[in-house]
């Protein structure tokens, strides 16, 4: 069979593509490992002497651990709360799609997916400030709430494939819907919870616009926002700037390397449901 | 100067976080007052912290918390919505200040002793930009738009300090012929275009132009032909990649001898010295006309001090006490020196030799405010008009087309003001 | 009784969340729509001005240009991202060495933050490429691309570099649903690779094509992060996207109401684009 042979044009295409993907990261690493003098002579070459101190310098300058902690708290809370609340709403909707009320809620969430953020953004800043939530806690609420549209869509698709018999048996035994959901259905949702968790985590960790408009206190800045806020501080100390960029990318990259298969499967499931 | 606010978006310092940390260490005494200071210059966060520390030592009842947000407009809007405005604001004379002053956010300094401590010409300037003869703010530091030059390169190319526009361009030609770059421009960041633009417009347009701007009757095509054509000339003598070089790269390029002249305000001096501690910089007044006797230096309020109407007398008084402290000759002078600005405090002279020569213009009152302080908010804020200039110049458009774009923008801004 | 209890529990599970959703999502959107009919600047008094802002928008060259740019950018990027990711997916699905490594490389950009990636590319465009071009005397490339009238290309490149990952994942998932025997049948018929693709592969992954086109168009119409980090809207207003314009002018310059009106128009545009796409693309889908 011809198909069992190695496809040479595909290989060549992939190698060129991979170089294109990896080149900016290679450059970022090279820049971050040089001292400014050497950088002036050669950007892409291997450093003659590795200049590690760019990393601790950038860490101190950008208050890395503080921003990291902020990003981590926001992302972790957003993921946990999203999974708990959104799956629950989706369950109630999925089991009642025949009732008009729940069907309308479903369409309401779906339609909201097409509302662009800019129209919410301008009044939102005032509304959140007014109730004292223009901070990281408010941000967590927004991630949980804004994710609903897409997440409910994914959850409902999956929930409808879970047979009702299980629940009905439990119902006959006198269990409440609340208990049925948490004890029987929620554990069954594990694969899709993972999907939603991964998508939410990538979104909340990397998001820039929402923290930009919501966070006023520099002590609460997330990693991307910190990169933006401190742009001018490096002036032209690009080595330090790149050390800081790499450290901002690193946590997600590490998780990707460890959980790559999961992430890809999760995203696939989320999008084709 | 509005530009400084824009610098905010590109220039930030690490010490943003220091004030919050300081305030947590502070133990509040029984009848202490905490006031919030909102200031818009990231490059001087450390200097403000020093001032605050000294102030708190001599005034144990008052604690000052510094806030330096990345986007001051957004921060203030959020604060107004919260009903929690900062007690003291140190910012530029920009569209946000003007709009807040117009809406009665600030208290008036009318009849107070502080008003007599600062240069009256600049008090007047602030009143003019708000369009109301009430001093809602005190000028604290002022900046100036000279031409900065690299002393070593001036000698290398054998050019003398130009006094007229023609001399400046003749110098530029000479430098270009010798293979050098006359102007090192950081025009990828559009706001940097405001610097030469304001020097050229204010010196070459009808005297009542700023008044016309405010009343909505100004016409760029009628008044700014000279300025537009001079901008085209400047672009010709800039480096090849002038629209691809940003403010930071331009600072570093100029500081490292890549160009002879640098069209930037005095505020850039601390940055240039950080980029290259060995660079020798001089300055002369931007020769915007061919009549050196007539040429005025563009100079505006770099930082103003305004106390907000919080309704809390204790806080307002504490803020005023802090202002009194800031207006001492020592504090005013030191702060101005670090910020690369001139102090408005009476009797304080610029210490920095690179700009000391400009002081005579300020003392003699041969200064004129930035035109863009009088542009309508929708045109001045968010780099609007500079972007238009950047767009026109980078695509080599004609004088008429440059000015027509500005007029269109001006008319539209007036319409939904 | 039991029936009622069952229904109550469902309501308790949904209503609070729906209320929160309304309060944090729909209410601000409605407030924004209200602002669009006023002259509010963010400070001071508020007055009803009817359609004045909307009329102003359509006469404002800056606003019109931002729509033009956004639509062009979104169209070019959506198409490019889909073509590129489909090619990558086809190649990954072919018989190749190191298939896992290649997958890992091509999907990686998906987890990286757009803002930081754009900062890295900014340096590439402003320093690396001009330096290399000067060394080799490639005059055309000695200028920073982001400072020229082709700045939009830079944004497209960054968007593709990052955006292709997600779409590739979906296309690959789609390709893997195609049973081997479908190909074998086509090969026995003697169909060329080109005909096999258009006759067999593409119709079968059409649903994925639809999802990808709709999602990509929605993402790229709202482009913001790349613009902030790469061009800040310049040179001139050449690369000001609608989102960028609403952010910069809405929060400063007293245009809160005016830019709210802009946001309402933007909402309508997104709805129209989504509807047109769904109608047009779904008609072509074939189910296996």
Determine the residue among A119, A127, A212 to mutate to test chain C binding: the one whose Cβ has the most chain C Cβ atoms within 10 Å.
Answer: A119
C252 and B100: CB-CB below 8 Å?
no
Half-sphere exposure of B173 (CA within 13 A, CB side): 7
Instruction: Examine the domain organization and report whether A35 and A66 are in the same domain.
Output: no
Residue A159 gets the label, from left (phi > 0), alpha (psi -120 to 50) or beta, of: alpha
User: Which of C52, C142, C254 is opposite residue B99, by nearest beta carbon?
Assistant: C254
Prediction ipTM score: 0.92
Instruction: Examine the domain organization and report whether A164 and A251 are in the same domain.
Output: yes
pLDDT at res. B20: 34
Instruction: Examine the domain organization and report whether A32 and A131 are in the same domain.
Output: no
Instruction: Examine the domain organization and report whether A222 and A166 are in the same domain.
Output: yes
Q: Is residue A179 part of a domain?
A: yes
Q: Does B183 touch chain C (CB under 8 A)?
A: no
Q: Does B380 touch chain C (CB under 8 A)?
A: yes
Q: Does B241 touch chain C (CB under 8 A)?
A: yes
Q: Is residue A49 part of a domain?
A: no
C236 and B388: CB-CB below 8 Å?
yes
Contacts of B71 in chain A (CB under 8 A): 212
Choice between C64 and A170, residue whose per-residue pLDDT is larger:
C64
Determine the residue among A129, A130, A234 to mutate to test chain B binding: the one whose Cβ has the most chain B Cβ atoms within 10 Å.
Answer: A129
The Cα of B24 is separated from the nearest Cα of chain A by a number of Å equal to 12
Domain tally for chain A?
Answer: 2
Instruction: Examine the domain organization and report whether A30 and A62 are in the same domain.
Output: no
C228 and A260: CB-CB below 8 Å?
no
Tens digits of residue pLDDT in A44-86:
888 888 888 899 988 988 889 999 999 999 999 999 999 999 9
Contacts of A126 in chain B (CB under 8 A): 77-78, 81
The Cα of C14 is separated from the nearest Cα of chain B by a number of Å equal to 30
The Cα of C265 is separated from the nearest Cα of chain A by a number of Å equal to 9
Q: Is residue A259 part of a domain?
A: yes
The Cα of A78 is separated from the nearest Cα of chain B by a number of Å equal to 23
Q: Is residue A91 part of a domain?
A: yes
Tens digits of residue pLDDT in C35-61:
999 988 777 778 899 999 999 999 888
Tens digits of residue pLDDT in C213-229:
988 999 999 999 999 99
Interface of B with A in 231-270 (CB under 8 A): 247-249, 251-252
Q: Let me know the angle formed at the C-alpha of A110 by A107 and A114, rounded to the nearest 5 degrees.
A: 130
Give me the tens of pLDDT residue by residue for chain B, a chain 417 residues long: 444 333 333 333 322 333 333 333 334 444 689 999 999 887 788 889 999 999 999 999 999 988 887 677 777 777 776 677 899 999 988 878 888 888 888 999 999 999 999 998 899 999 988 888 899 999 999 999 899 999 999 999 999 999 999 999 999 999 999 999 999 999 999 989 999 999 999 999 998 898 888 888 899 999 999 999 999 999 999 999 999 999 988 998 999 999 999 999 988 888 888 888 899 999 999 999 999 999 999 999 999 999 998 888 899 999 999 999 999 999 999 999 888 889 999 888 888 888 888 998 988 889 999 998 888 877 887 778 999 999 999 999 999 999 999 999 898 888 766
Instruction: Examine the domain organization and report whether A26 and A134 are in the same domain.
Output: no
Mean pLDDT of chain A: 89
pLDDT at res. C123: 92
Q: Does B271 touch chain A (CB under 8 A)?
A: yes
Contacts of B68 in chain A (CB under 8 A): 218
Q: Is residue A263 part of a domain?
A: yes
pLDDT at res. C51: 94
Q: Does B90 touch chain C (CB under 8 A)?
A: no
DSSP state of B142: E
List the CATH number of the domain containing A158: 1.10.3720.10
* Structural domain harbouring A133: 57-272
Residue B216 gets the label, from left (phi > 0), alpha (psi -120 to 50) or beta, of: left
Please compute the mean of the pLDDT values over residues A125-132 and round it to a whole number.
88
Q: Does C148 touch chain B (CB under 8 A)?
A: yes
Half-sphere exposure of A5 (CA within 13 A, CB side): 5
Q: Is residue A128 part of a domain?
A: yes
Residue ranges and CATH numbers for the domains of chain B are: 2-142+301-350 (3.40.190.10), 146-298+370-415 (3.40.190.10)
Compute how many other C-beta atoms are within 10 angstroms of the C-beta atom of residue B141: 30
Got the DSSP string for B176-241?
A: HHTT--SB---TTSGGGGHHHHHHHHHHHS-TTHHHHHHHT---HHHH-HHHHHHHHHHHHTB-TT
Tens digits of residue pLDDT in C166-210:
999 989 988 988 887 877 777 777 778 788 888 888 888 888 888
Instruction: Examine the domain organization and report whether A136 and A238 are in the same domain.
Output: yes
Report the neighbours of A using a cutoff of 3 or more CB pairs below 8 angstroms: B, C
Task: Encode chain C in three state secondary structure.
Answer: CHHHHHHHHHHHHHHHHHHHHHHHHHHHHHHHHHHCCECCCCCCCCCECCCHHHHHHHHCHHHHHHHHHHHHHHHHHHHHHHHHHHHHHHHHHCCCCCHHHHHHHHHHHHHCCHHHHHHHHHHHHHHHHHHHHHHHCCHHHCCCHHHCCCHHHHHHHHHHHHHHHHHHHHHHHHHHCCCHHHHHHHHHCCCCHHHHHHHHHHHHCHHHHHHHHHHHHHHHHCCCHHHHHHCCCCCCCCCCCHHHHHHHHHHCCCCHHHHHHHHHHHHHHHHHHHHHHHHHHHCCCCCC
**Please, are residues B232 and B399 in contact by the beta-carbon 8 Å criterion?**
yes
C91 and A10: CB-CB below 8 Å?
yes
Contacts of C130 in chain B (CB under 8 A): 241, 244
Instruction: Examine the domain organization and report whether A96 and A27 are in the same domain.
Output: no
User: Which of A216, A219, A231 is opposite residue B78, by nearest beta carbon?
Assistant: A216
Q: Is residue A25 part of a domain?
A: yes
Residue ranges and CATH numbers for the domains of chain C are: 1-25 (no CATH), 36-282 (1.10.3720.10)
Backbone Cα Rg of chain B: 21
Question: What CA dihedral angle connects C103, C109, C112 and C117, to 10 degrees?
Answer: 150
Q: 3-state class of B106 per DSSP?
A: strand
> Residue A225 and residue B70: Cα distance in Å, rounded?
10
pLDDT at res. B14: 27
pLDDT at res. A271: 65
pLDDT at res. B54: 95
Instruction: Examine the domain organization and report whether A90 and A26 are in the same domain.
Output: no
Q: Does B78 touch chain A (CB under 8 A)?
A: yes
B364, B368, C59, C73 from B165: Cα distances, Å? 22, 18, 38, 42
Structure token pair of residue B52: 């605050």
Q: Is residue A101 part of a domain?
A: yes
């Amino acid at each position: 069979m011809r198909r069992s042979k190695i496809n040479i044009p595909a290989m060549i295409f992939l190698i060129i593509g991979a170089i294109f993907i990896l080149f900016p990261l290679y450059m970022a690493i090279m820049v971050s490992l040089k001292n400014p003098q050497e950088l002036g002579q050669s950007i892409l070459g291997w450093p003659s002497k590795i200049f590690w101190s760019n990393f601790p310098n950038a860490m101190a300058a950008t208050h890395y651990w503080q921003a990291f902690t902020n990003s981590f708290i926001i992302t972790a809370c957003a993921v946990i709360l999203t999974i708990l609340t959104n799956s629950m709403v989706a369950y109630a909707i999925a089991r009642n799609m025949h009732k008009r009320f729940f069907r309308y809620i479903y369409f309401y969430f779906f339609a909201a997916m097409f509302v662009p953020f800019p129209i919410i953004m301008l009044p939102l800043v005032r509304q959140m400030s007014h109730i004292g939530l223009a901070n990281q806690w408010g941000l967590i609420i927004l991630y949980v709430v804004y994710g609903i549209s897409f997440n409910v869509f994914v959850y409902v698709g999956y929930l409808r494939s879970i047979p009702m018999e299980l629940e009905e048996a439990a119902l006959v035994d006198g269990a409440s819907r609340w208990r049925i959901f948490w004890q029987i259905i929620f554990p069954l949702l594990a694969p899709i919870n993972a999907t939603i968790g991964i998508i939410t985590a990538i979104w909340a960790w990397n998001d820039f616009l929402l923290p930009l408009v919501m966070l006023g206190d520099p002590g609460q800045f997330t990693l991307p926002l910190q990169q933006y806020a401190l742009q001018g501080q490096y002036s032209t100390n690009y080595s330090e700037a790149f050390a800081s960029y790499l450290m901002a990318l690193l946590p997600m990259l590490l998780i990707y390397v460890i959980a790559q298969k999961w992430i890809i499967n999760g995203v696939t499931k989320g999008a084709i449901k | 100067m509005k530009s400084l606010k824009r610098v905010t978006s590109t220039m930030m310092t690490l010490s943003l976080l220091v004030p919050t940390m300081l305030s947590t260490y502070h133990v509040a005494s029984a009848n202490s007052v905490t006031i919030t200071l909102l200031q818009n210059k990231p490059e001087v966060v450390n200097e403000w912290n020093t001032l605050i520390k000294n102030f708190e030592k001599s005034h144990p009842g008052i604690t000052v918390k510094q806030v330096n947000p990345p986007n001051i407009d957004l921060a203030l809007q959020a604060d107004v919505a919260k009903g929690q405005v900062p007690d003291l604001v140190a910012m530029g004379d920009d569209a946000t200040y003007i709009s807040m002053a117009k809406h009665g956010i600030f208290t008036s300094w009318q009849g107070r002793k502080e008003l007599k401590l600062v240069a009256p010409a600049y008090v007047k300037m602030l009143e003019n930009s708000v369009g109301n003869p009430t001093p809602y703010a005190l000028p604290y530091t002022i900046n100036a738009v000279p031409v900065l030059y690299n002393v070593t390169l001036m000698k290398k190319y054998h050019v003398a300090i130009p006094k007229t526009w023609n001399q400046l361009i003749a110098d530029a030609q000479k430098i270009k012929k010798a293979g050098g770059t006359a102007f090192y421009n950081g025009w990828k960041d559009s706001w940097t275009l405001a610097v030469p633009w304001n020097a050229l417009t204010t010196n070459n347009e009808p005297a009542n132009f700023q008044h016309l701007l405010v009343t909505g009757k100004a016409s760029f095509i009628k008044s700014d032909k000279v300025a537009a054509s001079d901008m085209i000339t400047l672009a010709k003598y800039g480096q090849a990649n002038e629209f691809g070089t940003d403010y930071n790269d331009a600072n570093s390029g100029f500081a490292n001898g890549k160009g002879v002249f640098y069209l930037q305000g005095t505020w850039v001096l601390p940055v240039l010295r950080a980029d290259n501690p060995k660079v020798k910089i001089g300055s002369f007044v931007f020769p915007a006309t061919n009549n050196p006797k007539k040429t005025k230096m563009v100079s505006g309020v770099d930082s103003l001090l305004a106390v907000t109407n919080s309704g809390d007398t204790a806080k307002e008084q504490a803020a005023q006490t802090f202002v009194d402290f800031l207006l001492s000759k020592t504090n005013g002078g030191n702060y101005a020196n670090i910020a690369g600005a001139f102090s408005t405090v009476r009797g304080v002279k610029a210490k920095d030799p690179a700009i000391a020569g400009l002081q005579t213009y300020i003392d003699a009152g041969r200064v004129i405010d930035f035109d863009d302080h009088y542009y309508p908010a929708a045109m001045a804020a968010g780099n609007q008009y500079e972007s238009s200039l950047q767009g026109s110049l980078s695509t080599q458009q004609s004088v008429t087309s440059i000015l027509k774009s500005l007029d269109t923008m001006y008319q539209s801004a007036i319409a939904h003001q | 009784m039991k029936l009622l209890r069952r229904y109550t529990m469902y309501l308790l599970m949904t209503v609070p969340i729906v209320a929160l959703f309304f309060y944090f999502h729909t209410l601000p959107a409605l407030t924004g729509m209200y602002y669009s009919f006023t002259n509010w600047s963010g400070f001071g008094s508020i007055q009803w001005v009817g359609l004045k802002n909307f009329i102003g928008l359509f006469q404002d060259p800056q606003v019109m240009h931002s729509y033009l740019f956004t639509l062009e950018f979104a169209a070019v990027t959506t198409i490019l991202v889909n073509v590129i990711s489909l090619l990558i997916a086809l190649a990954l699905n072919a018989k190749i060495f190191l298939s896992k490594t290649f997958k890992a490389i091509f999907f990686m950009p998906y987890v990286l933050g757009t803002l930081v990636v754009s900062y890295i590319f900014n340096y590439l465009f402003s320093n690396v490429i001009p330096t290399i071009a000067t060394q080799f005397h490639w005059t055309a490339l000695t200028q920073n691309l982001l400072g020229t009238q082709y700045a939009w290309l830079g944004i497209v490149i960054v968007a593709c570099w990052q955006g292709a990952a997600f779409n590739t994942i979906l296309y690959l998932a789609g390709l893997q649903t195609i049973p081997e025997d479908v190909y074998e049948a086509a090969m026995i018929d003697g169909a060329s690779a080109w005909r096999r693709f258009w006759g067999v592969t593409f119709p079968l992954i059409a649903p994925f094509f639809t999802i990808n086109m709709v999602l990509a168009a929605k993402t790229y119409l709202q482009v913001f992060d790349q613009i902030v980090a790469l061009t800040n809207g310049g040179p001139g207003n050449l690369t000001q996207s609608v989102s960028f314009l609403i952010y910069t002018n809405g929060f400063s310059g007293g245009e809160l109401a005016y830019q709210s009106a802009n946001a309402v128009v933007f909402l309508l545009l997104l709805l129209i684009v989504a509807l047109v796409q769904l109608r047009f693309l779904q008609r072509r889908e074939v189910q296996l």
